[in-house]
């Protein structure tokens, strides 16, 4: 390995490879943060990987009452897909099933100045079966959909921005407990504005590669190079000596810069929390247009 | 510089102020603004005879009218963009058939604020009118779209034959409100006896009204937190029409709880 060292952590001389994605940002409010969080968790469920879930989504951040359009506690959610239409479809499905249904919620567009939009309330209003109504407030149209508890208020459309998906860090340590602790510390440091970490708790243990060695029909299969138990079974292992567990943190961000700085925060947090080894996953640089070399993240945030 | 017209003295008769809208005055020189002719009773008067003109020729889409303009009717009527700020009272028909922009009145407005002309199919079709004081009779009559917010009270007959849109009166909507209202919203910050053609539907916290009240606060009216947090009674009507309009009355007796 010819990377560098941060404390006791070896940083591999490699890079994360990421792709352009489109994203929407929604602000879900409710009578309490608890209910806003319930809706946000439900909406971002089963959205870990675009390969299997058609989108990647996560809670971005909690918002105080002073930061939301209706003055109630809120949760900002980011949802990524491969194209604008994909974002629109997934947002419509998920708001319809997970936010409209959740007590006391309202749903607002978190990207009001985006160049592109996709319909949300404009489509969802039909649930109102003709009893729905709309109001234009401050130049923006909102739909009022009558429900059993009162009314669900939802924005007419959502902005769709250009983001970056698939940034990542891979964190290894001598045992699973140490690797997980370091990965958790990294996640804690990485979460924030403009960032979605779509896997459970922000961490994925089943990093994948494109395609498979044994099948032509699989879109993805286990990353055998980073599986410690296969260290001697494969010729191209990337698991260093002394490392017995690795976790990946996949990052979707609203910009290349957001992903880079998120990786920087995560790398240094992992090093400070006992990681033995930090590396990143890529596809040889042939598939993704965004490359994030770990050597560029040496400076602490 | 903002184009500012300051009233010199009371005009000899009622004046039609409709020509004084930003889209007509934007970019005009001071002499051109002064030369604009306004109907004054059975005669005409030049703007320069009635007002001191300053700040002309600018590109800002904003107009300030300063002084007691109670003898000026049709202020902001038909405007579709920009902003008019009136520092004083205005006469009748202010913002009549307005289509867009913001008309802000720091004072009282007389009858037919944002209303439809007699025989017109629709009154205000867009934009926002904010009145810090009271508004006269038939506020928002025939309104189709937009927002009228009144810090004080409206006179009788607000929302007459309203098609849609919103009238909010923080100090209370007057009597006989919302007659023949089709889809419009009338919100009263004070108790009110709804007309017999309205029926009680529910007591709830209307999320859209909450957003509108925040908007009104941002536009300069003082909105009590209780109105934002509290419950409102929804009365549906007019049942002689579609029963899709609503009269929202703040639940004052229970402090909105």
The answer to whether residue B90 sits within a structural domain is no
B17 and B75 Cβ atoms separated by less than 8 Å: yes
B185–A135 CB contact, under 8 Å? yes
The answer to whether residue B159 sits within a structural domain is yes
Q: Which residues of chain B have a CB within 8 Å of the CB of A68?
A: none
The answer to whether residue B196 sits within a structural domain is yes
pLDDT in tens, A222-276: 999 999 999 999 999 999 999 999 999 999 999 999 999 999 999 999 999 999 9
The answer to whether residue B87 sits within a structural domain is no
A150–B206 CB contact, under 8 Å? yes
Chain A CB within 8 Å of residue B239 CB: no
pLDDT in tens, A54-105: 999 999 999 999 999 999 999 999 999 999 999 999 999 999 999 999 999 9
Chain A CB within 8 Å of residue B185 CB: yes
What band does A287 get if pLDDT is binned at 50, 70 and 90?
Answer: confident
Mean pLDDT of the residues in chain A: 96
User: How wide is the angle at C-alpha B133 spanned by C-alphas B130 and B137, nearest 5°?
Assistant: 85
Q: Which residues of chain B have a CB within 8 Å of the CB of A74?
A: none
Nearest Cβ partner for B215 among A137, A144, A150: A137
Query: How remote is the C-alpha of A185 from its chain's centroid?
Result: 17
DSSP B117: P
Same-domain status, A148 and A36: yes
The last residue of one of the domains, among A161, A177, A198, is A161
The last residue of one of the domains, among A129, A161, A193, is A161
Chain A CB within 8 Å of residue B207 CB: yes
Nearest Cβ partner for A135 among B212, B218, B244: B212
Interface test with B, best of A103, A132, A136 (most B CBs within 10 A): A136
pLDDT in tens, A161-182: 999 999 999 999 999 999 999 9
Q: Distances from the Cα of A253 to the Cαs of A21, A25, A154, A182, A260, in angstroms?
A: 9, 11, 25, 21, 9
Same-domain status, A43 and A108: yes
Chain A CB within 8 Å of residue B133 CB: no
Residue B256 clears pLDDT 80, i.e. is over it: no
For residue B236, the distance in angstroms to the closest alpha carbon of chain A comes to: 12
Same-domain status, A170 and A234: yes
Interface test with B, best of A36, A138, A149 (most B CBs within 10 A): A138
Q: Which residues of chain A have a CB within 8 Å of the CB of B100?
A: none
Query: How remote is the C-alpha of B255 from its chain's centroid?
Result: 27
The answer to whether residue B243 sits within a structural domain is yes
Q: Which residues of chain B have a CB within 8 Å of the CB of A151?
A: 204, 206-208
The last residue of one of the domains, among A128, A161, A194, is A161
**Residues in A lying within 8 Å of B, measured between beta carbons:** 69-71, 106, 133, 135-138, 142, 144, 149-153
Residues above pLDDT 70, as percent of chain A: 100
Q: Which residues of chain B have a CB within 8 Å of the CB of A133?
A: 183, 244
Of B24, B113, B11, B120, the closest CA to residue B68 belongs to B11
User: How wide is the angle at C-alpha B201 spanned by C-alphas B199 and B202, nearest 5°?
Assistant: 145
Q: For residue A72, what is the nearest residue in chain B, using CA coordinates?
A: B229
Nearest Cβ partner for A136 among B145, B205, B206: B145
B249 and B232 Cβ atoms separated by less than 8 Å: yes
| Whole-number pLDDT of residue A285 | 85
Mean pLDDT of the residues in chain B: 95
Q: Which residues of chain B have a CB within 8 Å of the CB of A106?
A: 207
Nearest Cβ partner for A135 among B208, B214, B218: B208
Tokens of A80: 């990524």
**Lowest-pLDDT choice from A107-116, B25-34, B180-189:** B25-34
The answer to whether residue B178 sits within a structural domain is yes
Q: What whole-number distance in Å separates Cα of residue A250 and Cα of residue A261?
A: 14
How many domains is chain A built from?
2
Q: Which domain holds residue B142?
A: 111-250
For residue B215, the distance in angstroms to the closest alpha carbon of chain A comes to: 7
Nearest Cβ partner for A153 among B145, B208, B228: B208
Q: Please compute the mean of the pLDDT values over residues B35-48 and round it to a whole number.
A: 96
**CATH code for the domain in which residue A56 is found:** 3.30.70.520
Q: Please compute the mean of the pLDDT values over residues B64-75 and round it to a whole number.
A: 98
How many domains is chain B built from?
1
| Whole-number pLDDT of residue B60 | 73
Q: Map chain A to HEC letters.
A: CCCEEECCEEECCCEEEEEEEEEEEEEEECCCHHHHHHHHHHHCCCCCCHHHHCCEEEEEEEECHHHCCCCCCEEEEEEEECCHHHHHHHHHHHHHHHHCCCCCCEEEECCCCCCEEEECHHHHHHHHCCCCEEEEECCEEEEEEEECCEEEEEECEEEEEEEEEEEEEEEEECCHHHHHHHHHHHHHHHCCCCEECCCHHHCECCCEEECCCCCCCCCEEECHHHCHHHCCCCCCCCCCCCCCEEEEEEEEECCHHHHHHHHHHHHHHHHHCCCCEEECCCCCCCCCCEEEEHHHHCCCC
Of A57, A156, A66, A65, the closest CA to residue A109 belongs to A156
B215–A138 CB contact, under 8 Å? yes
- The helix or strand, by DSSP H or E, that contains position B174, with its residue range, turns out to be none
Interface test with A, best of B100, B203, B211, B228 (most A CBs within 10 A): B211
Nearest Cβ partner for A137 among B205, B211, B244: B211
Q: Which domain holds residue A272?
A: 4-18+163-297
Residue B58 clears pLDDT 80, i.e. is over it: no
pLDDT in tens, B101-133: 999 999 999 999 999 998 998 999 999 999 999
Same-domain status, A143 and A192: no
Residue B207 clears pLDDT 90, i.e. is over it: yes
Residue A1 clears pLDDT 70, i.e. is over it: no
């Amino acid at each position: 390995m010819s990377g560098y060292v941060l404390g006791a952590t070896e940083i591999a001389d490699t890079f994360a490879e990421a792709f352009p994605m489109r994203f929407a940002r929604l602000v879900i409010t409710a009578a309490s943060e608890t209910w806003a969080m319930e809706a946000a968790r439900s909406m971002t469920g089963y959205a870990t990987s675009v390969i299997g879930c058609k989108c990647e989504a996560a809670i971005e951040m909690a918002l105080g009452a002073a930061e939301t359009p209706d003055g109630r506690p809120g949760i900002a959610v980011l949802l990524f897909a491969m194209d604008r239409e994909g974002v629109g479809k997934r947002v419509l499905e998920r708001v319809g099933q997970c936010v409209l249904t959740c007590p006391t919620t309202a749903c607002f567009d978190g990207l009001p100045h985006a160049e592109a939009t996709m319909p949300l309330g404009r489509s969802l209003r039909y649930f109102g079966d003709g009893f729905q109504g709309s109001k234009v407030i401050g130049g923006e149209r909102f739909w009022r959909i009558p429900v059993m508890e009162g009314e669900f208020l939802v924005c007419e459309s959502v902005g769709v921005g250009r983001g970056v998906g698939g940034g990542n860090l891979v964190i290894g340590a001598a045992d699973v407990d140490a690797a997980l602790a370091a990965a958790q510390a990294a996640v804690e440091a990485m979460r924030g504005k403009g960032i979605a970490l779509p896997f459970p708790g922000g961490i994925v243990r089943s990093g994948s590669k494109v395609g498979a060695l044994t099948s032509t029909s699989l879109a993805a299969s286990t990353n055998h190079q980073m599986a410690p138990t296969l260290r001697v079974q494969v010729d191209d292992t990337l698991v260093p000596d002394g490392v017995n567990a690795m976790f990946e943190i996949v990052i979707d961000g609203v910009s290349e810069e957001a992903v880079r700085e998120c990786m920087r925060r995560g790398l240094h947090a992992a090093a400070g929390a006992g990681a033995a080894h930090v590396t990143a996953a890529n596809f040889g640089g042939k598939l993704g247009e965004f490359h994030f070399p770990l050597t560029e993240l040496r400076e602490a945030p | 510089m903002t184009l500012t017209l300051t009233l010199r003295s009371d005009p000899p008769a009622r004046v039609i102020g409709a020509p004084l809208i930003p889209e007509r005055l934007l970019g005009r020189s001071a002499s051109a603004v002064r030369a604009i002719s306004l109907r004054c009773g059975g005669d005409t008067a030049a703007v320069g005879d009635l007002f001191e003109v300053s700040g002309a020729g600018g590109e800002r889409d904003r107009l300030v009218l300063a002084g007691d303009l109670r003898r000026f009717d049709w202020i902001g009527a038909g405007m579709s963009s920009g902003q008019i700020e009136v520092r004083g009272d205005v006469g009748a028909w202010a913002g009549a058939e307005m289509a867009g922009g913001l008309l802000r009145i720091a004072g009282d407005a007389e009858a037919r604020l944002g209303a439809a002309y007699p025989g017109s199919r629709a009154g205000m079709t867009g934009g926002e009118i904010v009145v810090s004081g009271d508004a006269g009779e038939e506020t928002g009559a025939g309104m189709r779209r937009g927002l009228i917010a009144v810090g004080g009270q409206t006179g009788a007959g607000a929302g007459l034959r309203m098609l849609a849109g919103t009238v909010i009166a923080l100090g209370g909507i007057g009597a006989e409100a919302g007659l023949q209202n089709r889809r419009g919203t009338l919100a009263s910050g004070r108790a009110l006896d709804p007309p017999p053609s309205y029926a009680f539907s529910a007591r709830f916290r209307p999320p859209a009204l909450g957003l509108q009240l925040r908007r009104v606060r941002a536009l300069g009216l003082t909105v009590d937190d209780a109105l934002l947090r509290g419950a409102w009674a929804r009365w549906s009507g007019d049942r002689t029409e579609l029963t899709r309009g609503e009269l929202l009355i703040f639940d004052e007796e229970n402090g909105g709880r």
